[in-house]
Chains A and B, each alone.
Chain A
Amino acid sequence: MKRRKLEEAVVKALMIASLGLIVLCLAGILFVIVLRGARALSWDMIFQTPKGGYYLGKGGGVANAIVGSLYLTGGASIVALLLSLPIAFALQRESSSRAFARFTRLALDLLWGTPSIVYGAFGFVIMVFFGLRASLLGGIIALSLLMLPIMTRAMEEIIDMIPVQLKEVSYSLGATKIETTLAVVLRQALPGVVTAAMLAFGRGIGDAASILFTAGYTDYVPRSLFDPAASLPLAVFFQIGTPIPEVQERAYASALILLLVVLGVNLLSRLLSMRFSRHTIR
């Protein structure tokens, strides 16, 4: 009996140690990035584009990457939202068979797990096919493919949880499917839709591999869809790759900006979802 109690205690201690280790890793990452980043962060980093000799340590900032990232991820979010809402609606019980819904869910889960570099490569194939060069548009295509499954799967799960009775009331009043969907389902699912969109936005803005050869990189803010676009993750990646310490410092600052954006989006999505849930019936 004593041996069994001992085993229990030992395993439990190991478990707590493991959990502590994982949480400690997160804390360590946040600590290191904030500490190193804060030292190198300045207003110039946020509001200025790279000046001549920036990559040799001269003045400027990563405004091009910040704006580029917002354009890329914003554009991709809109495309993904326009595609994922109809898909999520189409998967409702009254619109498609269970087999079709299950197959689509599986397809979405597979897409979710597909490495982002594969989306980058596929985006490249599409661009070659249509004769596009590395541009904002190419980046948006690759990024929206990456964000689509994340957004759709999260939305579809929320919509699936809406009580059937609510829809039945609407149907019994003579509303058609699309009317019910827009007036009842969409409103009821709004907090979930917002959370799903923000979740995908947070994933998209941090992804580097998919836009590496589809969006390119430039020192300027893109003026049109066919201009190349810089992005924050790639700014971190390129700047840490140079041998010059001043430029590496800027990689830390860029990483801190990126981290703050991602954490901010995360926090905002929680707040918004609380806010929007006022309209839902429970």
Chain B
Amino acid sequence: MRGRRLIDYLASKSMRLTAIFVNSIAFLMIFGLYWKSRPLLALKSLTHLLTSDVWAPLSGKFGFYPFIVGTVEVTAIAMVFAVPTCLLAAIYLAEYSPRRFREGVRIVIDLMAGIPSVIYGLFGVIVIVPLVRDLGRALGRPTTGYTLLAGGVILAVMVAPIIVSVTVEVLRAVPMEARETSMALGITRWETVKHVLLRSSLHGVISAVVLGFARAFGETIAVLMVMGNVARTPHSVFDAAYSLPALIANNYGEMMSVPLYDSALMLAALILLVVVGGFHLAAHLALYRIEKRS
């Protein structure tokens, strides 16, 4: 009996320890990345690094501004394409379609979420980049096709599964009575969605969009493959651009041979972690509240 108790005690303690370990990973990552980026932060202030637009590692100039602009803009373009499409599709799935159809589409969406980003990138290189090149030519803006726009389109496709599936879940969480009440008043389905459902699940829908935003913000390989990667602030959607994750991924080869280069890249990773983490924190807290209510 004593042996069994002892085993139970040891097992639950060690399981508890693993759980505490996973809770500390985020802090460990922030600390580790900060530790590596400190040499650079000791020389230049964070605001200077974030607002300077000169990127010349060989002469010790690390201005993140073009990359931050590139990342924010490509993500914004993706959201412009993805948000209306995904919300409409999600409303259809949650409110209009029969159950079996919804289950079927869910499998398709899961499949889409599981496709590796390098394959999305390859699709971008084969299909989207030539399309953008033709579009640019037609509009009198000759480009190589490797542009901000191409990155935005690919990201829009990549974030679609997240936005759709979270929105569907949020809408399904609204109690049936809310729909019945409004329909009993002679209101059409769309008006019910517009006035009742979207209003009561606004936080959830915003969270879905924020989760998509965060995903797009940190996406690396696909963006790296289609955006051209020029360290200059882009001025139009037909310009090449460079995102923060792409910057890290593209320069790991040289980073050990140039002083402070590794610090700069680790700082970029830290910025990504903090920004994406912040968005996720806000979105998940909102979603938990919805889950608890339903």
Interface residues in chain A, defined as those with a beta carbon under 8 Å from any beta carbon in chain B: 4-5, 7-8, 11-12, 14-19, 21-23, 25-26, 28-29, 32-33, 36, 83, 86-87, 89-91, 95-96, 100, 102-104, 106-111, 113-118, 120-122, 124-126, 128-129, 145, 148-149, 152, 176-179, 181, 199, 202-203, 205-209, 212-213, 233-234, 236-237, 240, 251-252, 255, 258-259, 262-263, 266
Give 19 pairs: A residue, B residue, CB < 8 Å, sorted on A: A22-B89, A25-B112, A29-B120, A86-B18, A87-B22, A90-B16, A107-B23, A107-B25, A109-B280, A114-B273, A115-B219, A124-B266, A125-B35, A145-B25, A176-B4, A176-B8, A237-B118, A252-B122, A266-B111
Q: Do the beta carbons of B23 and A236 come within 8 Å of each other?
A: no
**Further contacts, 4 of them, CB under 8 A, given A115-B218, A148-B22:** A18-B89, A26-B115, A86-B18, A121-B269
Q: Do the beta carbons of B7 and A176 come within 8 Å of each other?
A: yes
Give per-residue flags for B53-94: 1 if the beta carbon is below 8 A from chain A beta carbons, else 0. 000000000000000000000000000000011101101110
Q: Which interface class (under 10, 10 to 19, 20 to 34, 35 or more) fits B?
A: 35 or more
Interface residues in chain B, defined as those with a beta carbon under 8 Å from any beta carbon in chain A: 4-5, 7-8, 11-12, 14-16, 18-19, 21-23, 25-26, 28-29, 32-33, 35-36, 84-86, 88-89, 91-93, 96, 105, 108-112, 114-123, 125-127, 157, 160, 164, 188-191, 211, 214-215, 217-221, 225, 245, 248-249, 252, 265-266, 269, 272-273, 276-277, 279-281, 284-285, 288
Q: Do the beta carbons of B218 and A118 come within 8 Å of each other?
A: yes
When distances are taken between beta carbons in the complex, the residues of chain A under 8 Å from B115 are: 26, 29, 206, 259, 262
Sort A-B residue pairs by CB-CB distance and give the 5 closest, nearest first.
Answer: A115-B218, A206-B116, A121-B269, A15-B92, A176-B8
- With A21-B85, A114-B276 already in contact, the answer to whether A209 and B245 are too (CB < 8 A) is yes
Residue of B14, B89, B125, B218 with highest tally of chain A CB at under 10 A: B89
**Cross-chain contact of A125 among B7, B85, B93, B266 (Cβ < 8 A):** B266
Query: How far does the alpha carbon of A36 sit from the alpha carbon of B125 in the complex, in Å?
Result: 12
Query: How far does the alpha carbon of A87 sit from the alpha carbon of B285 in the complex, in Å?
Result: 21
When distances are taken between beta carbons in the complex, the residues of chain A under 8 Å from B211 are: 113
Query: How far does the alpha carbon of A95 sit from the alpha carbon of B18 in the complex, in Å?
Result: 13
When distances are taken between beta carbons in the complex, the residues of chain B under 8 Å from A5 are: 188
When distances are taken between beta carbons in the complex, the residues of chain A under 8 Å from B266 are: 121, 124-125
Query: How far does the alpha carbon of A199 sit from the alpha carbon of B197 in the complex, in Å?
Result: 32
Residue of B nearest to A239 (CB): B122
Q: Do the beta carbons of A255 and B188 come within 8 Å of each other?
A: no
When distances are taken between beta carbons in the complex, the residues of chain A under 8 Å from B8 are: 176-179
- With A26-B108, A118-B218, A208-B221 already in contact, the answer to whether A8 and B188 are too (CB < 8 A) is yes
Q: Do the beta carbons of A263 and B7 come within 8 Å of each other?
A: no
Query: How far does the alpha carbon of A26 sit from the alpha carbon of B8 in the complex, in Å?
Result: 49
Query: How far does the alpha carbon of A121 sit from the alpha carbon of B271 in the complex, in Å?
Result: 12
Residue of B16, B86, B108, B120 with highest tally of chain A CB at under 10 A: B16
When distances are taken between beta carbons in the complex, the residues of chain B under 8 Å from A178 are: 7-8, 11-12
Q: Do the beta carbons of B221 and A209 come within 8 Å of each other?
A: yes
Query: How far does the alpha carbon of A137 sit from the alpha carbon of B92 in the complex, in Å?
Result: 46
When distances are taken between beta carbons in the complex, the residues of chain B under 8 Å from A118 are: 29, 33, 218, 269, 272-273, 276
- With A120-B248, A148-B22 already in contact, the answer to whether A25 and B160 are too (CB < 8 A) is yes
When distances are taken between beta carbons in the complex, the residues of chain A under 8 Å from B35 are: 125
When distances are taken between beta carbons in the complex, the residues of chain A under 8 Å from B265 are: 121
Q: Do the beta carbons of A26 and B111 come within 8 Å of each other?
A: yes
Shortest CB-to-CB span from A230 to chain B, Å, is 14
Q: Do the beta carbons of B190 and A7 come within 8 Å of each other?
A: yes
**Cross-chain contact of A86 among B14, B123, B217, B288 (Cβ < 8 A):** B14
Query: How far does the alpha carbon of A39 sit from the alpha carbon of B220 in the complex, in Å?
Result: 28
When distances are taken between beta carbons in the complex, the residues of chain B under 8 Å from A111 are: 22, 25-26
Residue of A nearest to B93 (CB): A19
Query: How far does the alpha carbon of A206 sit from the alpha carbon of B118 in the complex, in Å?
Result: 8
